[in-house]
Amino acid sequence: MSTQPIRRQVESMKKSTWWLGLLAAASTFPAGAVNQEIRALFQPDPAHPNKNVFINKTPSSGYCAIYPEQCADNQVFSIELPVRFTSSRFMTAGFPLSLKVPASWRQVTVTNQDTRETEIVEMRVTGIGSRFELSDSAANLVGVSDILEGHQKLWTTSSWVYAPAPCQYSGVGAYSPTAYRFFWKTPVEAACTKVAAYLIPGMVFPTLDFAYELRTPNPLRMSSGLYTGSLNYTLGPGGDFDVGSQMYPDDSLLTLDFVLDVQHTLKVDLPPGGNKVSLEPAGGWQSWLESGRRPSRIYRDQPYYLSASSRFKVMMQCNSLGGTECHMGSPTGRSARVETTMTVPPGISGPGGADGWSGRLQYNTWIGPFQPVQYVDRKAGNLRFEIPERYFYSFLQPGVSDTLTGHITIIWDSEI
């Protein structure tokens, strides 16, 4: 895009009303606080299973709400704070007006409201802007008739669309006779200074816009729920947000309230009829029925389909005295035991860190944690139900027909 700013005329303000407000505000600066919510959401996306990131859900306001195309081109996002900065006295020619923001990374601990698990979020401010208002028109202050020429001559380095180093240009400026809207990128935590070229009797920033960047934890390793935490910044001369040595805010503290909403998926699907499993030898019972040849294995592989975006655990429940074996029996008194082996889909690590873990389940015992390395969307796993060979002799008798039954329940649980 062109580096030349786009000028836009905005409605002129009533100077007399503003100036009375300035004189009243200059006499006292209350020490209040302002709160701003920063909200982000994680939901697994089947179309992009490798995109394991939080999506910003904080509504845009201020500069980027007015000029969304500019902010999209420069990859910034702004929030407008209802904080008013007012000059405590006039500014003489040569007076430096310096803006500095917390552009370095800072940490905040966020806590899951249900599980009390904690994670670290990092934040830095990447842009700053406002609409400064003057006590008189810029043209009158410098002794010209043209509005734009007045804004350009009022400062030694032209108008405020041009960001002084180390700040950087990030979008258009808009002006009226007594006001100028600007927005700058802040790549480093250092003062960005404009120098007055003429006497400025009074000045105010009625609101403050800022852009930010977050570094969030890996959502796949977080439990579902809301994670909340707060980060405090000071406002005013010498504070974290400093817009000039004699520009005083009506609130002295900014509290950012973080809300990270983690909405995981854990779903297990069985194919139609998959809840009823018939165990038999490979190739069926025909060889045993015709020749009495005892099979070497009696089992069934049952596929299942898993969708998971967070860690989980698995437990088996059945008629059992413990261990890996579940009881099967018949009305005639015959019995056997069956063991269940679970295999998870690739992309999920199990106990010991093995990808595509496979192992026997145990009665009434949680096994895990199982951790997706990416969002797994309806990937096939397997459950093998098998009767150990040592039990064949108790129910496989020539000329005897019987049916053994049992019930096995397998629980997948995301609450670790």
**146 Cβ contact partners less than 8 Å away, ≥ 6 residues apart:** 139
Strand boundaries in 250-297, DSSP class E = 253-262, 266-269
Residues 71 and 199 in one domain: yes
Last residue of a domain, one of 207, 232, 262: 262
Which is it for strands 298-308 and 266-269: parallel, antiparallel or unpaired? antiparallel
CA distance 45 to 309: 9
Residues 234 and 286 in one domain: no
Q: How many helices (H) and strands (E) does the chain have?
A: 7, 26
Residues 253 and 275 in one domain: no
Q: How far is CA 58 from CA 74, 78, 122, 246, in A?
A: 18, 10, 16, 31
Q: How far is CA 170 from CA 185, 194, 315, 375, in A?
A: 6, 16, 55, 36
Residues 220 and 303 in one domain: no
Q: Please, which pLDDT band fits residue 31 given cuts at 50, 70 and 90? A: low
Residues 194 and 322 in one domain: no
User: Which of 136-140, 159-163, 168-172 has the least mean pLDDT?
Assistant: 168-172
Last residue of a domain, one of 204, 232, 262: 262
Determine the Cα angle at 390 with ends 389 and 395, to 5°: 85
Interval 159-169: pLDDT, tens: 899 999 999 99
Closest by CA to 315, choosing from 355, 288, 342, 354, is 342
Residues 245 and 332 in one domain: no
Interval 243-267: pLDDT, tens: 999 999 999 999 999 999 999 999 9
Looking at the domain assignment, is residue 28 inside a domain?
yes
Which structural domain, as residue segments, surrounds residue 277? 266-413
Residues 123 and 29 in one domain: yes
Looking at the domain assignment, is residue 8 inside a domain?
no
CA distance 127 to 74: 11
Looking at the structure of the chain, the number of domains it has is 2
Residues 281 and 391 in one domain: yes
Find the CATH number of the domain harbouring 283: 2.60.40
Looking at the domain assignment, is residue 4 inside a domain?
no
Total count of residues recorded for the chain: 416
Last residue of a domain, one of 262, 279, 295: 262
Residues 221 and 355 in one domain: no
Q: Where are the alpha helices (DSSP H) in 200-265?
A: none
